[in-house]
Amino acid sequence: MAAGAASSGACAASASAASANGATAAQAFLAYMKETPAQQLEDQWLAAHHLTRKALDAMPAKQREAIMKEIEADIKRQLKQAAEKKTANKKTGILV
């Protein structure tokens, strides 16, 4: 009977851990959804470059400014490419 109690205790512990992870994931999702589109783009760029906002904030001002300029340039380039692709698709009549 003790083994059964230990087993059910383990299940309860894993269910509790899964619930905590679910809450953490839900909290992260809600925090992401509260961000502006610009903040979301910045977060995506930082993640793609293996950086976090916390790491960015901890950098010296000059380094942080250089990265922010790089983010801005990359996002502008991506937006320009998306607009050009959309324009090209309208000219050819191909829907993508």
Please give the pLDDT value at position 92.
66
Residue 7's pLDDT band (cuts 50, 70, 90) = very low
Which tokens go with 77?
């380039």
Please give the pLDDT value at position 90.
73
Residue 14's pLDDT band (cuts 50, 70, 90) = very low
pTM comes to: 0.58
Residue 3's pLDDT band (cuts 50, 70, 90) = very low
> 76-86: per-residue pLDDT in tens?
998 899 888 88
Where b means 16+ CB within 10 Å and e means fewer, 49-81 reads: eeeeeeebeeeeeeeeeebeeebeeeeeeeeee
